[in-house]
Structure 1
């Protein structure tokens, strides 16, 4: 979501009518996105479905990409909390399995991942909206893993390692497998991914 959009949400002095019109636009865009995919979220379709004028839409969102980014962000699930108990290995397996289930059970999440992986449209000025959403998606994915892997316990068990590369090793197979349709990533796959990670970085807990 753009900085402008966030400020509208957070500022208590914004005209309530403006908040209502923005909510109607996002509600309409969310319905179109969930039923018809990214291609269905056009300026004309959103204004028709929301019964909000185009001039009003452009007061909230500078482009169709900015509107789509805000819609995706509204539908972005909350970050999964890591399990509170268990060995580090078991916690990572549980967390990775939760992420795999989230992607597998929510087709819209795949659309989000595919969309943010693209660059800005050719000749467009919408890279900021897409990049801002991409940063939020990355944060959403990595936050629970950061919490586990940046802990003193993880450093003691695994030694010194690059946290970003560790996230790529853990999440990369999951996202690639699901997005390409090569296979459905199940808990057994997550166990193998985590065990390979431990084999690379340190002794695996029994």
Structure 2
């Protein structure tokens, strides 16, 4: 016979999940503002308005919390990029354009905390060096897969994918610094996307 969770236990689980998401979200914001060294368990607990001891019911250490915060940000970004790429259709140019535009939206408008967290170098301790590299590789792989598909079918043209990808991410990471204000932001995003696409086309 299959065990079925009671409504009370389901409510407790949902409440626990919400609290955990709140803690992770606060950790992400503090990481963006202050970097790894500026984040403490006490600061996260205070922002969440919970006791430090309560936070330790969810995470055993600062590093465990930071690791989950990094993974949460990575998964959110990858989900958004993947969904946008799939919605763009099969063409490599359209998919790449969608990826670039979505990345700008993420970095500039929707979740600007992503950029400082994954900036390089960012003063992270050694134990996070490899996880951060892995997260960047997972992100880069989405763009690379679309570009390689486009090169294979002749829709894209690029002499050196690695160099072009480095240039692309440089463009994306700096966009928030100079993109116009709200009134011109959509036009600025479109112009930036069009210029970035030229790294991979002969148009």
TM over 0.5: yes
Unaligned runs of 5+ in 1: 1-19, 121-125
Runs of 4 or more, structure 1, over 6 Å off, are 20-23
Deviation, 1:132, is 0.6
Q: CA RMSD in A?
A: 3.6
- Equivalents in 1 of 2:106, 2:55: separation in Å? 37
Distance 1:84 1:143, change over 3 A: farther
CA shift digits 1:51-105 (9 cap, x unpaired) = 35399479733xx35532322322331411223233x333322221111111111
How many aligned residue pairs are there? 169
Tell whether 2:25 aligns with 1:30. Answer: yes
Distance 1:169 1:111, change over 3 A: closer
Distance 1:92 1:22, change over 3 A: closer
1:191 to 176, 194, 197: 194
TM-score (norm 2): 0.63
TM-score (norm 1): 0.62
Residue 132 of structure 1 corresponds to 131
Tell whether 2:53 aligns with 1:69. Answer: no
Unaligned runs of 5+ in 2: 1-14, 181-187
CA shift digits 1:85-139 (9 cap, x unpaired) = 33x333322221111111111122123223x63133xxxxx32225313421441
